[in-house]
Amino acid sequence: MVQNCKFYKEKKQVSYDNGVTFVDVVPAEYRKGELIERDSPDCGYVPPTPPASGQYLTFVAIDSGTFSFSGSSSGSVNNSSIQYSLDSGSSWNTLNRNTQSPTVSAGQKIMWKESLTPIPYYGGVGVFSSTGRFNIEGNIMSLLYSDNFIGQTSIVDKKYVFSCMFSDNRNVINTNKLVLPSTNLSGATNCYFRMFSGCTSLTTAPELPATSLAGSCYVNMFDGCSSLTTAPALPATTLARQCYSHMFNGCTSLTTAPELPATTLEYHCYWLMFYNCTSLTTAPVLSATTLVEGCYTGMFRNCSSLNYIKCLATNISATDCTSVWLEDVSSSGTFVKASSMSSWPTGENGIPSGWTVTNA
């Protein structure tokens, strides 16, 4: 199929001197040449909107049950209600604060939209509750931009916007189809603070595409998610103060940690990030050479199965940069260090006693 494909345009020429010279035929004739690009925007191709990105925030019921939304309120801001649909968006109804939705049967979907305003320190835009188990999919921006959410990605300066949204909801199971599209979190401090904290049944996490972070943006996001086995990728190479602090604290089933590509660290950036991740055996490679105050404090504390770390730091003079970072890890393991580094202390603040040390 050649629709929307881009080709080279070839012009027909002719020679009257046995191929020594060529001239264009008259009238001009053209033909389609080699393929340049399939699905070319130059030829009218419009990329389809990814299904989840173009879908209102949606809960898929696993058990029959009801939902409620406690919208935040402070001063002149009053998130008193939210819109929901039980017929794929054909009709919408209002759900007032702290009232129950109609019963949503197992397998049925309920969609959400509104133009909510986040309130810093008062629970962001609000908190969802449920009486039955459910999965989450679709684009969270429909809570901020209502019907105009497609293509919206900005939460710049929206402090605490999605904080505590599902906190302590043990009925949340799967969120790998939830879309959190923002790549720039600038000024949105604490935007995902405790978003899924205490969701003990959560098995999968949403993608986190942000490459520009804000202070404390992911603090405690998955704290206590004891059924989570794999962490989402964290692509940011530029960090912010306390950005990943306590992020996976108490994720006792976590066996795979995300890569941590940043080489320039920030104050307390990984503070207690994997505290009590008792199933984690291998740490992500820590490539930063110069540590900063509190950056690794308690990072792998109580990770009792952890037995392999590759840390390339050569300057660990900053205050508390490795304080109790390896307290109560496995009694034996391998620590890979930079070959030029000779000042690691022994023990919970450095290289654990009983571990084998090798050079990178």
> pLDDT 10s per residue in the chain (360 long)?
456 788 788 888 989 898 899 999 899 988 888 878 877 878 877 766 556 889 999 999 999 999 999 999 988 889 999 999 999 999 999 999 999 999 999 999 999 999 999 998 767 999 999 999 999 999 999 999 999 999 999 999 999 999 999 999 999 999 999 999 999 999 999 999 999 999 999 999 999 999 999 999 999 999 999 999 999 999 999 999 999 999 999 999 999 999 999 999 999 999 999 999 999 999 999 999 999 999 999 999 999 999 999 999 999 999 999 999 999 999 999 999 999 999 999 999 999 999 999 999
Q: What is the pTM of this model?
A: 0.84
User: Which of 245, 270, 240, 359 has its CA nearest to residue 310?
Assistant: 359
| Pairing between β-strand 57-61 and β-strand 134-139 as defined by DSSP bridges | antiparallel
Q: Is 60 helix (H, G, I), strand (E, B) or coil?
A: strand
Report the 10 Å Cβ neighbour count for 73.
Answer: 15
The two tokens of residue 168 are 């302590």
The two tokens of residue 98 are 């702290």
Domain boundaries, the chain: 6-43
For 177, phi then psi, to 5°, come to -105, 10
- Given a contact cutoff of 8 angstroms between Cβ atoms, the answer to whether 261 and 235 are in contact is yes
